[in-house]
Structure 1
Amino acid sequence: MDIRQIKCFVAVAEELHFRRAAERIGVAQAVLSAHVKRLEEELGFPLLFRTTRHVSLTQVGYVYLEEVQAVLAQLERAVEKATIAAHSRFDNLRIGGFDAALIWFLPPILHQFQALHPGIQLRLTEGAASGIQIDELSRHHIDLAFFRPPTAREGIEWETLI
């Protein structure tokens, strides 16, 4: 089963007409029919009642339609979000730190950063221990961390500030 088969079925189910469904999604009617037929064969049950003049959904077809419409909508949202992320500027910086860094060292640095980059939102997270900050970096829950001792964890680069 592939996404084309599902999209063909959805078009037929919504139009209740093979020719209009084929025109809607831009494929030949024979191709659309073949995709729907293969989908039904793979599933092992009919989704549509067909006559030469009429198309309607089976009871199973109604259930399947509802579920695949939700899946297709979720897939569209995923594509939209990924497209926005791929084409948008970096607009969010997640920073982790321990109390001394957040209280004494970061405020002037963050103030200067915000003046230079007003469109970037800064999100601060306090971590009780350096190990927590390193774990958060490793899991990509934060983008930048201020922690005490150096680390040798793979994938994490560090620099001594003070």
Structure 2
Amino acid sequence: MENAPTNKFTDNSYWTSTTKAQYVVNMAYSQMYNAGRMWSDESLSDNAYDGRSVDDQRAIRKGMATPSLDIFKNEWKDLYGGIKTCHVFLEKVDLVPNMDASVKARMIAEIRYIRASLYFRLTNLYGAVPFFTEDITLEESRECKSYRPRNHYQLHSPRIGRHQGWRFP
């Protein structure tokens, strides 16, 4: 006899209510921006000074930043982690039974806004970055080149970006 695990969620066991879908939206908001990130950004400029800041921030303020600083690696990882949360939500929200259509539409709009904000931050920090509107496989990730939208429509389209047009013109 096989029993479903009771100590963890699966895709089928999680997406059972509007409340659980809202939890994922809330998590995406927390990945978009938080107080720690806000104050860290300010201490990188002359707007605020944090005398106890970590070595990465100090190196950036002194003009001695290198690509190997953890702050750059962590921002990349954290922002794409938030984008992954958005993609999972958009892929799985249809599994929620009896979800009110207006609530679902609002949540989808919120998630798309969060994803756009995360991409905005990525492009501000790194320039042209790989742009995805849904999850890709590990094999596809190895083939990716930087993607630059060719027009405003492509940037906001819900479906453009999966494994086509990722190369610079």
TM-score, length basis structure 1: 0.27
Which structure's residues are more often strand, by fraction? 1
TM-score, reference length from structure 2: 0.26
Greater relative CO, 1 or 2 (CA 8 Å, sep 6+): 2
